[in-house]
Chain A
Amino acid sequence: MKETIYTPYSPLQAPRAFGREILHDLRLVHHIGWQLFRRNLRVQIRQNLLGYFWMLLPPILTGLTWTYLGKNHIIQGYDATAGPYPAYVLAGLFIWQGFVEALNCPLQQLQSARGTIAKVKVPHEAFIVAGMGMVLFNQAIRMLILAAVLVWFHIPWHASLLLVPVGLGLLLVLGLALGWLLTPVSLLYADISSAVSMALGFWFLITPIVYTPPKAAAWLTVLNPVTPLLTTTRNWVLTGEMAPAAGFGLVAVMAVGLLGASWLVYRLARPHLIARL
């Protein structure tokens, strides 16, 4: 019979038991997460008259807006070697949106499940898995629209397209890791989510999404961990350039490491958060 012991001590002081608890939860996470994902999708469709249309509309509208701005030369500093401007903007925006959604995912999911996690013993990871399911679903829709744009602008299909899921995946990992790391503090203090939405506006501007930043601001883009992942993935989509941008490997390794650390910190923080929800 399964034995469970609760004491005031940190689980890190009994690493074996902690590991067993994590494994037990992981076995549950996938099917709870899947059920919650199905629920979220159904609720989203059922509450809207136009259903899936609302998932297609925002990326189409953003794409059209930036294409219009580009065609009228409102945006300066675009590197024409990277392909037609609308395709450049859409690829950059769609990849960035995945990162932003992944970053917001843990806090959004756990905030909306506040009532449940305070009362029901359930692996919180399941809510994040369900949320990431929605992020992947939305990202898949955006990629389908991007594929249509490639066809429309007669952009050739390169072998590097096969690497795109890797690039996208790493950006989602980076977003999720940063979002999850901030979640324990964000669940306690509302200031964090306000600060994050403000920071994301600034972050958008120092990332080469809708324009190539001027050389004067190059140091900012170098320090920006999103830059190598985003530019490399966009190159894999548009130009077929296989070689990753400088810093790609380092950021990839850091993202994966940070995700593990964020997860561990959240698990340790969980009972203290529930006591204050």
Chain B
Amino acid sequence: MPATATSEPVVQVRNLSKKFCGHLRTSLWYGLRDIAAETWPRRHRPAAGLRRAEFWSLQDVSFELHRGEALAIIGANGAGKSTLLKLLNGLIKPDTGSIRLLGQVGALIELGVGLDPVLTGRENVFVRAALMGFSRAGIAPLLPAIIEFTGLGEAIDMPVQFYSSGMVSRLAYAVAAHLHPDILLVDEVLAVGDFDFQRKCINHMMSYLAAGGSLILVSHQPHHIQSICRRGVVLDKGRITFSGTATEALDYYFSQQLAALAAADSATGAGATLSEARPVAIEGVALAGQVAGTAVQVGDEVELTLTYQSFRARENAGWAFFIHTSDGHVCITGAYSPQPTMLLAGQHTLSCRLPNLPLTAGDYLVKTVIFEFESLQPLALWGWENSPTRLQIVDTASLATNAQKMVQQLITVPVTWP
């Protein structure tokens, strides 16, 4: 089981900052100056401020990681996640702050790097292992297990240039998985693999953690993050803006993204003027349960109200709603209006009732669509190109609700037990 937080942290990051220069020539010149400063340490005082054309890629980042823990680093592209992993891996130096690591660090970053396309998968196992500091003699006994893990079969004796990106990932991950570092840094490596490979990797990471390993995961896949990590931090423009459990961090990240989208929508005028070309617009979707406020109690009846604006009256319209997981990736349920509906000119509403909503406690997203009933061609969308409506389901804490959270259960169904 994961070690307690009272043990000495294996990763200690204190007030870490790293700056880069956005202008190539200036960056090269700064590089020369930094190298000169490095070789003359008495005069070398690490610069705390920014020079011309520089920006902070990471600023004042602090966190700790203990044995057996997995930490998710969540953030948009350019938030500083890869810079943080490069610093932790010792590839680049901090500009301020410090990193203290206990034990051997292994990194799974861009898996195809270091593999030679002309050599076979089997030969590349030795090359890849060598790059990770393992001798041929050290890796030879592990070879059958590595080949088994790759699942590549006879393709292991094919040149790597004939591999797909997923096969390359399988090969590189299999090597790294058998070298057992104390701290493992993983940067979005599962995205290219198939479901079988992803399952294998997640199982490997879980057993690695159970054996006392520590893991830092950068991923955009909420499913991977929730499966592997208990803790998460959100990076935004180089700063940690949230730190908590992985689920909380994901929730924070997505709510920030939705807020940003909504702000962008209002800035660009989502409710722009209607015309023949844009005859219908959905202006809002509201959900109301028996409890006051925005939250809905588990099992409550919920009323879903869609407000639309139509350029002119239109017959033969249909509408539908879909309830998604908080990351927007999985549609849990949805329903289409069974009969054609008449859309009236101007602003009006459509509504339906959802008795005994079967969702478990958590955050969900609701997307809607108005479409031509016969052709199913959408006339207006809500939640695809703009922010969906947030549905929060609450429940009283109990052993059963905790168990639902642990297994990431989404719905409950009526069951008759014998």
Q: For the complex, what is the distance from the CA of A3 to the CA of B98, rounded to whole Å?
A: 13
| Surface stretch bound by A, among B111-119, B303-311, B341-349, B350-358 | B111-119
| Surface stretch bound by A, among B99-107, B199-207, B326-334 | B99-107
A120-B105 contact given A8-B93, A31-B136, CB 8 Å threshold: no
Distance in Å from the Cβ of B298 to the closest Cβ of chain A? Answer: 47
Q: A265 contacts the other chain (Cβ, under 8 Å)?
A: yes
Report yes or no: B113 in contact with A116, Cβ–Cβ below 8 A. Answer: yes
Report yes or no: B38 in contact with A3, Cβ–Cβ below 8 A. Answer: no
Q: A219 contacts the other chain (Cβ, under 8 Å)?
A: no
A8-B109 contact given A43-B119, A275-B20, CB 8 Å threshold: no
Contacts of B97 in A (CB 8 A): 7-8
Q: A121 contacts the other chain (Cβ, under 8 Å)?
A: yes
Contacts of B118 in A (CB 8 A): 42-43, 46-47
Interface positions, chain B 170-216, Cβ under 8 Å from A, are 182
Tell me how many residues of A have a C-beta within 8 Å of chain B: 46
Report yes or no: B31 in contact with A276, Cβ–Cβ below 8 A. Answer: yes
- By secondary structure, the B interface counts as mixed
Report yes or no: B119 in contact with A39, Cβ–Cβ below 8 A. Answer: yes
Q: Which one of A12, A46, A47, A275 has the highest number of Cβ atoms from chain B below 10 Å of its Cβ?
A: A275
A-B contact count (CB 8 A): 137
Report yes or no: A32 in contact with B31, Cβ–Cβ below 8 A. Answer: no
B93 is contacted by which of A4, A32, A185, A271 (Cβ under 8 Å)?
Answer: A271
Q: For B137, give the chain A residue with the smallest CB separation.
A: A31
Contacts of A1 in B (CB 8 A): 102-103, 182
Report yes or no: A271 in contact with B92, Cβ–Cβ below 8 A. Answer: yes
Tell me how many residues of B have a C-beta within 8 Å of chain A: 50
Interface positions, chain A 107-133, Cβ under 8 Å from B, are 115-116, 118-122, 126
Distance in Å from the Cβ of B414 to the closest Cβ of chain A? Answer: 52
Contacts of B94 in A (CB 8 A): 6-8
Scan A32-44; emit 1 where CB is below 8 A from any B CB, else 0. 1011100100110
Q: For A117, give the chain B residue with the smallest CB separation.
A: B91
Report yes or no: B38 in contact with A10, Cβ–Cβ below 8 A. Answer: yes
Q: For the complex, what is the distance from the CA of A216 to the CA of B14, rounded to whole Å?
A: 65
Report yes or no: A3 in contact with B34, Cβ–Cβ below 8 A. Answer: no
Q: For B112, give the chain A residue with the smallest CB separation.
A: A115
Q: B46 contacts the other chain (Cβ, under 8 Å)?
A: yes
Q: A9 contacts the other chain (Cβ, under 8 Å)?
A: yes
Q: For the complex, what is the distance from the CA of A9 to the CA of B20, rounded to whole Å?
A: 17
Q: A20 contacts the other chain (Cβ, under 8 Å)?
A: no
Distance in Å from the Cβ of B403 to the closest Cβ of chain A? Answer: 36
Report yes or no: A35 in contact with B130, Cβ–Cβ below 8 A. Answer: yes
A269 is contacted by which of B38, B107, B109, B116 (Cβ under 8 Å)?
Answer: B38
Report yes or no: A10 in contact with B41, Cβ–Cβ below 8 A. Answer: yes
Q: For B114, give the chain A residue with the smallest CB separation.
A: A116
Report yes or no: A39 in contact with B38, Cβ–Cβ below 8 A. Answer: no
Interface positions, chain A 173-217, Cβ under 8 Å from B, are 184-185, 188-189
Q: Which one of A7, A13, A47 has the highest number of Cβ atoms from chain B below 10 Å of its Cβ?
A: A7
Listed A/B pairs (18) with beta-carbon separation below 8 Å? A3-B102, A4-B101, A5-B100, A8-B46, A8-B95, A9-B41, A36-B130, A39-B119, A119-B113, A121-B105, A122-B132, A126-B130, A268-B35, A268-B39, A272-B93, A274-B86, A274-B92, A275-B31
Known: A5-B100, A35-B127. 15 other contacts (CB 8 A): A6-B94, A6-B98, A8-B93, A39-B116, A46-B119, A47-B118, A116-B131, A120-B113, A122-B114, A122-B132, A184-B35, A188-B28, A189-B28, A274-B92, A276-B27
Task: List 8 tightest A-B contacts by C-beta distance, closest first.
Answer: A8-B46, A35-B130, A10-B41, A269-B35, A271-B93, A12-B41, A31-B135, A268-B38
